[in-house]
Amino acid sequence: MALSELKILLVDCDPQGNSTSGVGVSKDAQTRTCYHVLTQACTAQEAIVPTDFEGLFLMPADKNLVAANIDLVDVPEREFRLRDALYSIRDQYAYILIDCPPALDLLNLNGLVAADSIIVPIQCEFFALEGVSQLIDTIQRIREAFQHELPIEGVLLTMFDDRTNLTRQVANDLREFFGKQVFETVIPRSIRLAEAPSFGKPVISYDVRSKGAECYIKLAKEIMANEQAARSTTSIR
């Protein structure tokens, strides 16, 4: 998306900080992070840092973020901390992408409540199917508890290897369940995708000619095209 000359903000809301290290930003103890934003020790604007990639900005995370689950447990409206923090800056960016942790904790909840829609990455493996019903239940609970529509932007099939029967079966099952909500783009198993984070680079910067890079470029175009189509439909109505 940033390659399309759009201004993008990546919010790392996962204590593992994979998105932070994945774009080459060091986890410095002096750096203000998503933790400081959630605890209101600083504003969102104060925590955002540029990356080495034009148009891409980051709100970093590190292991201290896990403490937010404890620090906010008795705070009123704790689920809205991230949403409220991003409200004043959201118009500065074409897209804000929030990387949530896999566990349904207070950090994940903040990310989901702050989001206008969600992208669901699912590995093409058997256990992914078991998590589908839990995912739908979680989304429904958030919709009801917070009066938050939270539509699914798309389901993204990852670790895709069409040489195996299991991958094809899981993909078919997910497309049957989610229908057109499944992105046409799939992300393949790729050595280049696995290598890129260790160099602190997105795969597009690490090897733009790789299959993984091509697929993520295609995914970005699909997301932007879907949004444009949705806007056109809304304007017609």
User: Would you mind telling me the total number of residues written for the chain in this entry?
Assistant: 237
| Cα end-to-end distance, the chain, whole Å | 28
User: In this structure, is the dihedral angle defined by the CA atoms of residues 30, 36, 37 and 40, taken in order, positive or negative?
Assistant: negative
What pLDDT does 236 receive?
57
Provide the whole-model pTM.
Answer: 0.92
- What residues of the chain score a pLDDT lower than 70? 233-237
Q: Which of 182, 223, 215 is nearest to 196 (CA)?
A: 215
Average pLDDT, the chain: 91
Q: Give me the residues paired with residue 119 across strands.
A: 154
Q: Which domains does the chain have, with CATH numbers?
A: 1-115 (3.40.50.300)
What pLDDT does 13 receive?
96
